[in-house]
Structure 1
Amino acid sequence: MTDTNTIKPGGPQLVSPLSASLGFADIIADIAATAAAREREHRLPHEEIASLKARGFGALRLPADAGGHGVSLSELFVVARDIAAADSNIAHAFRNHLWQVEAALRRRDHPFHTHVLELTAKKKTVGLSFTETGALPAGARPDKVLTRLEWDEIRQAYVGSGDKVYATGNLYNDAFIGVAVESRAGRTVQYVLERGEGVSNHDDWQGFGQRLTGSGTAKFRDVTVPPAHVYPADPPRTDEAAPWGFTFHQVYLTSSIAGIARRVALDAVEVLRARGRNFYHGEAAHPVDEPVLQALLGRIRAYSSSIEATADRAVAALQRVWDTYGTSDEYDTTLAATFAAAEAKVVIDDLAPQIANWLIDLGSGSVVSRVGALDRHWRNIKVIASHNPRLYKERLLGRNALSGALPPTGAFF
């Protein structure tokens, strides 16, 4: 007979066995324990991100002999989602760097990408210095400096200036990459700019959620780029290559929302345990024994698990893209992953805010205090979801079912 005293509570766990085996359990637990305080105090997570970098999170995908852990793409998402469950701001701040590592691993014979991998092996992270403008007509691309590098004879280096808005993660990054036209030959180049004089980041992001991602303005003023850090542009894609190159970005954000959904389920258990009194018309003396509240807790758990499973389907599709890279199957797997990412986003963007609402229902008036900062879950979900709204993806999925229409190929789909 089973001793019921030895049965452990079920449901989601904050840290996966994989993250624990890689040595991240303590950091993730600490991040989770202090997330509400950071939210209340608007304390940017410099120390937490530095700890993750030092432990090698940014280099997980590098082979072991190159300073990494050699994890698969799917395994990277496991660890990233654990971090998102602890604090979605921190997971989000790594997105641009992790994507650059993915791109570099595929093109490691190119000197620009080799440079990115070398920085990553040193446990540094790279951000973006592509300059963005305000409103643009449909189909247009930003064209301001730092998309131009001027040669400076005195410095014997290239010089550029410009602003990057929505510079997610740049407050915490050690280097920045971009594409520009260099003045001497008028050719398009790629460059790597390490943090130094002329680089500043401003915590002026005004979003009501994801407040600590460092998504403000990055300013580059008369920055110097050594000629050794300026590289030829990547060769153009062939006609046979799959043109959907940004699915990673979409899946990463949706997977981060799945991490928040897990945190809601974890917080829901603590909320119900902590409730001290029931309504007079309840059926139990204590809220933890109240049938309707137990049922709501079960609903939150079920929806959270289903959200993670939906995200995992998109992650698995993205893993197949990696596995078929450079083969005749790459086009089909990339297209399938793009649709899987869209399907996951449509579902998760709809369901995740619901379970954040139910968390408040579960705790009632006892959880609306700003001390617990539980409202951050709904706010963070909605802000992440606002990246590339699901409405356009819903339409694409419908059009594709009717006529076979293909997805757009730009980064912002």
Structure 2
Amino acid sequence: MTTTDEKTALTYLRPATATDAGLSARFQPVFDRIAEGNVPREKDRVFPYEQVSWLKEAGFGRVRIPAEHGGFGASLAQTFALLADLAEADANVAHVWRNHLAFVEDRLNAAPSAANDRWIRRFLDGEFVGGGWTEANNGTFANLKTTVRKDGDRWLVNGAKFYATGSLYADWLDVLGKGDGDSVLTALVRREHPGVELVDDWTGFGQRTTASGSANYRDVPAEEGDVFPAGERFVYQGQFYQTAMLSVLAGITRAALRDGIAALKARGRNYPQGLDPEPAADAQLLQVIGQVSAHAFAARAALRASAGSLDLVAAAHAAGDQVIREQRVLEAEVVTAQAQLAVIDAALQATTTVFDALGASGVSENRLLDRHWRNARTLASHNPRVYKARILGDWLVNGKDPVPNLAALGRGGQGD
């Protein structure tokens, strides 16, 4: 895959070549198909295996890979915009892709090599990465129990994880573990190996079909080229994972607006206190929908800012400019934290206040409008916003580094 001219390149990253129109033409029809069965899947907790396979077949997993390497050449801003469009169709399906897109980004940031060429080829072939770094049984990154230890010419992974998002749909699982000494490693292992046990024990009231339960590993092998020091993962990994969640939240906000409009139009009668006997002509109810649209607009704008800041980091990394890269990582951390506050607030407000434009029929299980709030609230709990405003204020007023532990674990985990 690596040509003579490309051997001098520092990474697989290239300037974006995709167009918004071209990406939409390819993927929006698939998103529309996925949206058709969203409510019954949510109601009956049906895992979207078929829907994930449609996206694999359409090449969603290679959207960020440069065109010269066989992908679609999308920017991060375009990638996260697509993820938001997918989340508008089905928030569960969109969240499933978070780990895969992050690992693709990691390999694009890596230096060209035979081992990394194999990973690019796997992505092009539609192979899908799930995983989860969070330790089970209340373990922490500072006290890892999972191990990745050398065994001859391979590695063996042992341990237990939770929040293993996307695992049931995956070909590969991305596992964080303790190596020899003080080293921390990530290993990519085959999901089908008999030593892998995936347990559907996610009990959250939202994001119920993301396969975010337990994963147990017993002497699961990982080959050379599939194990990486955690500290060498791409430098904007933490911000990437967070922005992926913001994409899903932005999509949920738009879905609440979409369904709120449809439900208001479908109302056949109004309350005696209403301004018009026709609910769709009632100025106060229209005001509610207008406000929800503003929340959707704010979420989309904040997402665009966060994703755009990551494109700047990627460009600096591709150019080999470490000084500029470090500055842009810091800037991206600030922008992503600000976006997190803005998007979560917009999503929770929109998914709650939309009911004010509806009658009692709005809470019907046939419409299942509560799924938007449940999914938004669940995602908003992954990386608690309660700390973000304080950290931002301390940075803005006192200049305290908002990312004080940049060297640890590849600059952050998966936003959990």
**Using the alignment, how far apart are the partners of 1:85 and 1:105 within structure 2?**
27
Q: Tell me how far 1:136 sits from its aligned partner.
A: 4.5
Please give the alpha-carbon distance, in whole angstroms, between the structure 2 residues aligned to 1:26 and 1:373: 23
**In 2, Cα distance between the equivalents of 1:173 and 1:347?**
32
The one-letter amino acid of 1:251's match is: T
The answer to whether the 8 Å contact 1:277/1:285 transfers is yes
Per-residue deviation, residues 212-236 of structure 1 (Å, max 9, x unmatched): 11101122233333x4455564786
**Equivalent residues in 2 for 1:68-83, closer than 5 Å:** 68-83=71-86
1:194 to 190, 195, 208: 190
Any idea what SS the aligned residue of 1:324 has? Answer: helix
Q: Which residue of 2 aligns with 1:277?
A: 269
Counterpart AA for 2:51: E
**2:288 maps to amino acid:** L
Number of residue-to-residue matches in the alignment: 385
SS of the equivalent of 1:300 reads: helix
Gaps of 5+ in 2: 1-19
Deviation at 1:142, TM superposition (A): 1.4
1:387–1:129 Cα change, 3 Å: closer
Contact 1:133 1:144 in 2 (8 A): no
Query: Is 1:350 equivalent to 2:345 in the alignment?
Result: yes
Residues 301-332 of structure 1: CA deviation (Å, up to 9, x unaligned): 12211221122111111111112222131111
| In 2: Cα distance, 1:175 partner to 1:356 partner | 34
Aligned-residue identity in percent:
32
- 1:359 corresponds to which letter in structure 2? V
Give the corresponding residue for 1:312.
304
State the AA in 1 paired with 2:144: P
Change (3 A) 1:276 1:340: same
Distance in structure 2 (CA, Å) of the matches to 1:293 and 1:186: 59
For 1:132, give the aligned amino acid. E
Q: Quick check: 1:177–1:190 contact (8 Å CA) kept in 2?
A: yes
- What secondary structure does 1:140 align onto? helix
> Does the CA contact (< 8 Å) of 1:260 and 1:381 recur in 2?
yes
Partner of 1:252: 244
CA distance, structure 1, for counterparts of residue 184 and residue 380 of structure 2: 33
Length-normalised TM-score, structure 2: 0.85
Q: Which amino acid aligns with 1:128?
A: G
1:264 Cα deviation from its structure 2 partner: 1.1
Task: Identify which range, 209-218 or 185-194, moves more after superposition.
Answer: 185-194
1:411 maps to 412
Per-residue displacement from partner, 1:163-190 (whole Å, max 9, x unpaired)?
221101111111123455678x998765
Q: Distance in 2 between matches of 1:18 and 1:262?
A: 22
Matches within 5 A, 1:57-68: 57-68=60-71
Task: Indicate the structure (1 or 2) with the bigger Cα radius of gyration.
Answer: 1
Taking a change above 3 Å as real, the CA distance of residues 371 and 44 of structure 1, as seen in their structure-2 partners, is same
TM, length-normalised to structure 1: 0.85
- Check conservation: 2:136, 2:214, Cα contact below 8 A: no
Deviations 1:327-352 (A, max 9, x none): 13111111111100000111222232
Q: Take 2:78 and 2:314, find their aligned partners in 1: how far apart are those partners? A: 13
Query: Which ranges of structure 1 fall in alignment gaps of 5 or more residues?
Result: 1-15
Residue equivalent to 1:8: none
- The structure-2 alpha-carbon separation of the partners of 1:116 and 1:98, relative to structure 1 and needing over 3 Å to count, comes to same
For the pair 1:220 / 2:217, whether they are aligned, the reply is yes
Q: Cα distance, 1:250 vs. partner?
A: 1.0
SS of residue paired to 2:359: helix
Q: 1:19 touches 1:82 (CA, 8 Å); kept in 2?
A: no
Distance in 1 between residues matched to 2:113 and 2:231, nearest whole Å = 10
